[in-house]
Amino acid sequence: MSNYSRLIQIGAAATALCSLSIAAPEPPIYNSEATRHPETGLQGMVSSREKRASEAALEVLKNGGNAVDAAVTLAFAMAVTTPQAGNIGGGGFMMIHSADTNATVALDYREKAPLAATRDMYLGPDGEVDKELSRYSHLSAGVPGTVAGLSAALEKYGTISLAEAIQPAIKLARNGFPVNEDLYQSLKTGKERVEKHAPHALAYFYDDEGVPFPPGHLISIPELADTLELIAKEGPDAFYKGAIADLIVSDMEKHGGIITHEDLARYEPVFRNPVRGTYKGYEIVSMPPPSSGGAHIVQILNILEPLDLHSKGHNSAASIHLMAEAMKYAYADRSKHLGDSDFNPVPLEWITSKSYADTIREKMNLNRATPSVDILPGEPIHEGLDTTHFSVMDRYGNAVSNTYTINFTFGSKIMPPGTGFFLNNEMDDFSSKPGVPNAYGLIGGEFNAIEAEKRMLSSMSPTIVLKDGTPVLLTGSRGGSQIISVSLQVILNVIEHQMNIAEAVAAPRIHHQWLPDTLGVEKGVSPDTIALLEQMGYEVRQGRAMGTANSVTFEDGIFYGGSDPRRPDSTAIGY
């Protein structure tokens, strides 16, 4: 019996005893220190950036399904209601903790470069990267992995059929769903590109005058409903070998793309061993390459562990400085050592070792910013802002932390006619020219150069934190290069600063990625703190909100959900 089941049985027994007493005991004193309060549940919890997807997943849990069933249902539903980020035209990573096996595994369903991809395919006559080709052409799409990945997770760890998991998504696509503020804002900024690359999609999202449908307006995507019905009926083969594959390849052939029937038929997701680390008695389990997220979350935690951030105070100048310094060293290592481990060896054991963290800590100036030009990757003896993350826990002890993406908002803005979904532009996450920053300022090296069938490097960081073998925190984020730092700060806020998950997710965030040598901060960081950081040598920039980290915790037999307030429709819901 899992720890979850024992705790829930104890809670049920306690409730029964209370019902026999003459008067219920006085409730505990309300926690007056908390500034925000999470959603709670005794049987399960779902947290995502879209309300209807969260509700569909919770219904699966209520009907006896497990966390994987609910996660797959949620992912397909979000592919309808959040077309700018949720997807079947992209790929991602899923961390799964199985109560049956008491094991945590990593599922890699990241997109792959097509067979015809070449190292210099985006370089123009001048030898420089042609960003239109790598971001907004049919050449920008990697071979999608979402349908194969979700199907593999359900087949190995789920209890319901793929057809059952897809039904809520089909209903939403066929019968309609209301536009929310999140989608509305994306439609406003994405219109020009959508009109250029997928004019047939305009009717789904814009009125006859080209104005995006406002929040509350009911829209449907019948072509996507047809696509989902085919997948429900025929399984993933419909997408990779059947009618949907035909539509994708036909569109590629008409517009100079290189994804072929062979590319689609050869695609397979991969179950991998997670990256593992420890932090103050907790086990950190996260995504391995081709994600850089797990390696560098563990690396940064190793650097910070002896420095007692708690006593320095949350988001004090001292604690921000230490986090930023550790981030610089990690992102520097990312630039040189990370890539698809199926193609090049990645020194994970060294990067995630406590001894290497000790070496970095010895170099750090604990009182002043180290210029990034003075930090080089160590030597062992891009990502899109409209990625989306969700977390699910169930009453059986299973847990899923999932991040998936099509890279930019609406990906490449290309929707193969007849399919109803947008294709990714993940090829831009490769180092089109090693040493040249991608769309998010990330420097990539030789290990992330373009090669046929290679998976492009990612920062996606779905993470499960365990205590004594039991999942106690699920987190991850959207946000391109900021995903690592956002996920890290949620973990630190819970473990180091003892925040509840609502507070941990809502707290102001900071980010440093080595190059450019600037420290990003969100609103809410004190001007006095910023002044102190500038005195320490930082160039501080206050800008847009960082990430969307919909997270879940489990404590004392109770599930807690934290929905990120940075997205207007984020929803944590339990029962």
Measured CA to CA, the distance from residue 244 to residue 240 in angstroms comes to 7
**Residue 387 falls in the annotated catalytic set:** yes
Measured CA to CA, the distance from residue 115 to residue 451 in angstroms comes to 8
Assign 44 to helix, strand or coil.
strand
Question: Locate tokens 């550790």: which residue?
Answer: 326
Assign 284 to helix, strand or coil.
strand
The alpha-helical segments, DSSP class H, found in 482-546 are: 483-495, 501-506, 527-535
| CB contact at 8 A, 333 and 296 | yes
Strands (E), 311-397: 388-394
Assign 287 to helix, strand or coil.
coil
| CB contact at 8 A, 228 and 166 | yes
Catalytic choice (146, 387, 403, 470): 387
Tokens of 385: 């802002």
481 DSSP assignment: G
Burial class (CB in 10 A: 0-12, 13-18, 19+), 213: middle
Assign 160 to helix, strand or coil.
coil
Q: How far apart are the first and last CA of the chain?
A: 21
Measured CA to CA, the distance from residue 309 to residue 509 in angstroms comes to 15
Measured CA to CA, the distance from residue 294 to residue 12 in angstroms comes to 37
444-481 core/surface letters (b: 16 or more CB in 10 A; e: else): bbebbbbbebbbbbbbbbbbbbbeeebbbbbbbbbbbb
- Residues with a catalytic annotation lie at 387
